[in-house]
Amino acid sequence: MTQQKAFRGIIGSGQIDITPPVGIYARNWGAASHDVAEGIHRPLKLSCLTFQAFQDDVPLVLISADLGWWKNAEHERKFRQSILDQLGLPETHLLFCLTHTHAGPGICEDDENKPGGHLIKPYLEQLVTASVGCVKDALKLAEPALLTWHYSLCDLAINREFPDPEKNRILTGFNPGAPADNTLLVGRITSLKTQSLLGTVVNYACHPTTLAWQNRLISPDFVGAMRELVEEYTEAPCLFLQGASGELSPPQQFTGNTNLADRYGRQLGFSVLSALESMEAPGHHLVYKGSVESGASLAIWGPEPTESSTTKKAEIIMVEYPIKNFPSHAELEREWTECEDRVLKERLWRKICIRKAIGDGQLASVPLWIWQLGNSLLIGQPNEAYSEYQIALRQKYADKAVAVMNLTNGSIGYLPPRDRYDLDTYPVWQTPFAMGSLDLLKKTTVEAIDSLILT
């Protein structure tokens, strides 16, 4: 496929271990019978990239952390603001993205009274320190570089909305009869001085839900083995960005099998390496050179230098989502207090956290981040959009590399397409957002890109 125009600037990369202590609260599944992590499968990592158009330019900072989701919006804002303050950055200039592992530690201070919950607050404080230190190290090592992109494919992701054969509902699990977006976007950062690889970016939409309630180990799920494979080959940090994966996952989920998570990671990793090998030399693309008559009439193509760009923009746009018929905070608190079922109580607790995040009004104002780096667009938002979102944006801006990120700078709820609201399915009853909210996000994103970014 055609190589996208590169961003040329001062780029830095960094990575740090953020594995929490064994014994931390780590109950991420309603069906789990345990509350704390009993060991480590693979270390959790925090990776960062810094982008500057020129020396001393205020950097755009992209962070990816092997964490699950934020339950308390106020705590997430406080956490992110601490990073912004210590780095002296405006809110537009930081994307803190979660890989969305479901085998990570609890990161909600509201859980401090639960088993292992006393470790959450000090862990979050360490995360702030680690984030700031990683970014500062990346800025110290930053050098003139090119960021180039390539679209490829990986068939790890499948549709995970399976019609229940026995009841009129949709189960969260492999649906072999439904299509899935398997688009893989790979970014390559290359030093202009040495032509060596400084880092890779992997944007792929697939829920890391291989490991579930049976697993008692801290794990990045498939992201860990993918990253290990790519970094071993490239000898440079690899940063993973979770795409619009609302209805996407690996085929076999909900296990305690760490070997399966590693296998899925290698499957994605080899696709990433294949994409890297298919790219032309940095700053080059193939052009038609003419024809040669032989046994057949041959078209000759060869590499030529391509233009690069120092364009760097960042915007925040507020999206006003309508709220569906969702219980008030007081109603949910009352139900939670009266509930004695462990699984249902966990579901109610999550709804309480969502209601606290959006307030008790009929509209929720949620930020959307849009960056432009050269001929690429990086789009981050805190909800779990379905893949329809990234498909539409990539079709609309086919001449650009479009990276779409869920669970960026917060976590709230799912954004399913309109037709899903007629079904009994988890994302629909989990989300506080009314039918049509995904359409609203698409419309707002396109209008913002056209009016604020590409003008």
Average pLDDT over residues 85-97: 98
The confidence score (pLDDT) of residue 167 equals 95
The confidence score (pLDDT) of residue 4 equals 59
Q: Which amino acid is at 136?
A: K
* Count of other CB atoms within 10 angstroms of residue 223: 29
- Is residue 287 scored above 80 in pLDDT? yes
Domain coordinates in residue numbering, the chain: 6-281
The confidence score (pLDDT) of residue 361 equals 80
Q: How far apart are CA 333 and CA 323, in angstroms?
A: 19
Q: How far apart are CA 357 and CA 348, in angstroms?
A: 14
Number of C-alpha atoms within 13 angstroms, CB side, residue 97?
A: 31
Residue 290, token pair as written in the block: 């003419």
The confidence score (pLDDT) of residue 1 equals 44
Q: What's this model's pTM, rounded to 2 decimal places?
A: 0.95
3-state SS, the chain, equals: CCCCCEEEEEEEEEEEECCCCCCCECCCCCCCCCCECCEECCCCEEEEEEEECCCCCCCEEEEEECCCCCCCHHHHHHHHHHHHHHHCCCHHHEEEEECCCCCCCCCCHHHCCCCCHHHHHHHHHHHHHHHHHHHHHHHHHCEEEEEEEEEEECCCCEECEEECCCCCCEEECCCCCCCCCCEEEEEEEEECCCCCEEEEEEEECCCCCCECCCCCEECCCHHHHHHHHHHHHHCCCEEEEECCCCCEECCCCCECCHHHHHHHHHHHHHHHHHHHHHCCCCCEEEEEEEEEECCCEEEEEEEEECCEECCEEEEEEEEEEEECCCCCHHHHHHHHHHCCCHHHHHHHHHHHHHHHHHCCCCEEEEEEEEEEECCEEEEECCCEECCHHHHHHHHHCCCCEEEEECCECCCCCEECCHHHHHCCCHHHHHCCECCCHHHHHHHHHHHHHHHHHCC
Whether the Cβ atoms of residue 402 and residue 390 lie closer than 8 Å to each other: yes
| Average predicted confidence (pLDDT) for the chain | 95
**Closest to 430 in 3D by CA, of 366, 372, 369, 347:** 347
Q: Which of 26-35, 56-65, 342-351, 353-362 has the lowest mean pLDDT?
A: 342-351
Q: Which of 205-219, 298-312, 332-346 has the lowest mean pLDDT?
A: 332-346
Residue 207, token pair as written in the block: 């829920």
Q: How far apart are CA 308 and CA 190, in angstroms?
A: 13
How does pLDDT run across 132-188, given as a tens digit for each residue?
999 999 999 999 999 999 999 999 999 999 999 999 999 999 999 999 999 999 999
Q: How far apart are CA 374 and CA 261, in angstroms?
A: 35
Q: Which of 16-30, 324-338, 345-359, 426-440 has the lowest mean pLDDT?
A: 345-359
The confidence score (pLDDT) of residue 259 equals 98
Judging by DSSP bridges, how do beta strands 363-373 and 312-322 pair with one another? antiparallel
